[in-house]
Structure 1
Amino acid sequence: MTVIDANRMNEIEARYPEYFQRSFRQRFGGLTILIATLLYGLYAVWFFDLPKLFAEAHWERVGIYLSQWISYDVQPEFRIQDDGSIEVRYPRFSPLGDNPHPDWLVNNPDGSITVSISGTSRSITVSKSQTIVTAHGISVPVDVSSGAPKVVGPAPSWMTVYDDNVLANLGFAGDVSISADRVKIRKRFIGWANFLFDPQSSFFDRPAGEVVSLIVSGPRIKPDQSNLSLAFDDIWNNAEWQHGDVWTKLFQTIVMAFLGTLLGSLAAFPLAFMAARNITPNRFLNQILKRFFDFLRSVDMLIWALFLTRAFGPGPLAGSGAIFLTETGTLGKLYSEGLENIDNKPREGIQSTGARTVLVHRYGIMPQIVPVIVSQTLYQWESNVRGATIIGAVGAGGIGLKLWEAMRTNANWENVAYMVILILIVVFLFDTASNALRHRLMGTKAH
């Protein structure tokens, strides 16, 4: 074992003071950051009152909204007439069309009507004197002969009794509301109703095989138009899903993102050369342009869109202008920083030959900066496809406005899901294409 005397120890301490004489920051910096993070977390919990927020949140609405994204409901109403007959009515814009005859609604010989909600395990039988609700393994009669609905026997937990109404929750399959003279049923189906053909279409409610046969070789439904053209028109002009309008608005969003990014990059490119200190040795001009870039970036794209919709009215022009202003600031800053970080040796070498300034920039600067410019521009273009959707919600055109209108009704969540899926597909395609182009231009492999 080697013994180190005091002189040797002092010499080692003097040579490596960072190990033997550590500062307070070095000794307690990590612990201080941890404590500060915990304190900030506690402050955030108190400031936002998170316990109360979570306790009072309507979590049940999440399941309701998500179920409406992937399903639709049919709402038949049964009215008990004075003579004891039962009249079946549907809402004006029922997914079943104007003259529905669903196979899950059966007219019984005794005059009652049975509605299958979910096979035989959940059903409703409506007669002039009572309604029988079968669910969760039991059948519960509700008597309506006395003028007010009355549950016969004890009411189960999934049934709520009021003075003039009885509500039965049948889970995801639907629900039923029973009053003295009418029974309202909500029956839920998985899928999107009438996605291709609405009730006004000549192909509505036809089997898929029959539709294909009509399009391929069937007799013309309209003498002056082929069945293929008629089917396309019916799909494109579907009144419930509005495919034509949705796809047109989606194309507007893509054009807004492309046009705004293109114009922003064209404006930012020459300004970046004047803002770069090593290209334009004018401190005043450098600072003016950099603060101008900061101003354009500091005002969010959404705020620019609000300003421009006031100036030019709602539409894609305001959206493209908002993206243009934001991207001029963002790309101007990125381009100028890229220019300030170039290697000056190629530039100085070309300058030494007496070449003009344009040629110096072309051969001494551009080969270094082009991969950065293209990469950043493509990334911003991809990002602006998403941003254009958001600014559309404030009137700047595109699919964002269409999406916001569907959400405001609080009833067309399947249409919301349709548009969200389209947006996700577009963003995925643009992300993939942008990554491939960036890697190709920069000479790297995409992972």
Structure 2
Amino acid sequence: MGGPDKLSDAERAAAIAAFEKLGICTQLAEAAAGLGWKAPSNIQEQAIPVLLAGQDVIGLAQTGSGKTGAFSLPILQALMDKPQEHFALILSPTRELAIQIAEQVEALGSGIGVKSCVLVGGIDMMAQAIALAKRPHVLVGTPGRVVDHLSNTKGFNLKQLKHLVLDEADKLLDMDFEQEIDQILKVIPRERRTQLFSATMTNKVQKLQRACLVKPVKIEVAHKYSTVDTLRQQYVFIPAKYKDCYLAYILNELSGSTFMIFTRTCDSTRRIALLLRNLGFGAVPIHGHMSQPKRLGALNKFKSGERNILVATDVASRGLDIPSVDVVVNFDVPQNSKDYVHRVGRTARAGRSGRSVTVVTQYDVELFQKIEHLTGVKMEQFQAEREEVLLLLERVSDAQRLATMQMKEADVGKKGKRKADDDDEGAGGGNRGGPKPKMGGGRRKY
């Protein structure tokens, strides 16, 4: 699960030719193939020629559609023609997404020496100011922190900016960044190229479009709430009191896969990560109450393959580019059906197959029906024999008790005892498992 997929020589040649056909220069086409991209995605095919022609774009595309490549490649190509500092600003709603966009920009631009700088909260302002002094070409950040630097970092301005990108614009506006975006728009040149990407076209997004884009070309690549055809969508209908037990059973049945498990609250994320580690699964949590270094640490453990289960709240469900997630488990059915589409967008990306399993209790039936109505997909039932599942009950109950105790210990912080591990990593420090015999290792070891 670590790096990009390696292409064969024939695939690489075909990929380079496909990107060159869109107008991308050979050097950048080779960089795209180097990231394992076999061909331009739908959004890339439609947006790149328009952007290379110097027009503003509003792109409506679902998560996992290759938006980052669509806006990055034309910016990098323009930068090659006229290198300058502060050439482009990419605004993102979350810290993780900003960091990830910067990684992809640097990977695509490695051959041309592109320097990027990430401006996000949770990381020291002074360290970022030092990075800004090194005159980076591309700035990627959250609106709040960009405004902080415009106000407080001596010598930093965006008067030379040539490209502005608003990624996940609907989320930017949902998170009340309107004021900060307005402040940024006031201090950047009117003569610039602007790109706006959004999963949905809301009234707020339309208003923002009118404020910052000039005669944009609208590109829409999918039904706004559709899920991809390569995704196998399943559900399991269960009594609420056995939720944890069924989760352990699902993970055991599909062992050998990489998982993202979505929960509704930060506490639930912590509890589930602890519970699973106590059962021997390699789980890490990521949620809004973790410090930025811990969130990135957990994410990197998952991306590198050191852990195979990421337990997350919806803060992580938008835009995180985690390659090859095999299975998404909706442990809690999302309150908002649109969040379901974003969650399951973590798997079956870029033409790969994937699976989602939604855990439905007697309290979730209405929410579940709303999801099926929104997506237009009738989910199939995940086969789980109750008797077989309940064989795990005793071990799961023990793990639950231990997880509750670990959370209390971490919250009280008894003499700092393993506080960081218990809170953000789950029990057991660096060890992948809890009590033996392990459940998480092989298939159906009860």
- Same fold per superposition (TM over 0.5): no
Q: Which has the higher helix share?
A: 1
Q: TM-score, normalised by structure 2?
A: 0.20
Q: TM-score, normalised by structure 1?
A: 0.20
Q: Which has the higher contact order (CA 8 A, sep 6+)?
A: 2
